[in-house]
Amino acid sequence: GIQVEQSPPDLILQEGANSTLRCNFSDSVNNLQWFHQNPWGQLINLFYIPSGTKQNGRLSATTVATERYSLLYISSSQTTDSGVYFCAVDTGRRALTFGSGTRLQVQP
């Protein structure tokens, strides 16, 4: 099956810093989604981004499908951004294959 790799696995930032999270995938995908799992365990859909660039406030994402990677940018990080960020891909059957996540800790 498809492999989804995320980097870095762990990231510690000071409040106000910027960061870039990366997701590589091993095969063609129908779509790619980014999720944030907060400390209470809730999974929140940040972006549905099969290709191109999208922005939502301080967050933006870019997917280059032809090169099989996606990037999630977090600017001016806040403590509420802490949690685990997952990249997930859909290869056509709509079920998602998840990466192992990037654990982000934003310190005040």
Partner 1 sequence: DSGVTQTPKHLITATGQRVTLRCSPRSGDLSVYWYQQSLDQGLQFLIQYYNGEERAKGNILERFSAQQFPDLHSELNLSSLELGDSALYFCASSTGQGKAFFGQGTRLTVV
Q: Residues interacting with partner 1, by CB under 8 A?
A: 30-31, 33, 35, 41-45, 48, 86, 88, 90, 93-98, 100-101
Q: In whole angstroms, how close is the CB of 17 to partner 1 at the nearest point? A: 27
Instruction: Confirm if 63 and 32 have CB atoms less than 8 A apart.
Output: yes
Q: Which is nearer to partner 1, 14 or 93 (CB)?
A: 93
How many CB atoms neighbour CB 5 within 10 A? 14
Give whichever of 25 and 86 is closer to partner 1, judged by the CB atom.
Answer: 86
Closest approach, Cβ 60 to partner 1, in A, equals 17
Structural tokens at position 98: 């998840």
Q: Report the phi/psi class of residue 40: left, alpha or beta, with left for phi > 0 and alpha for psi in -120 to 50.
A: alpha
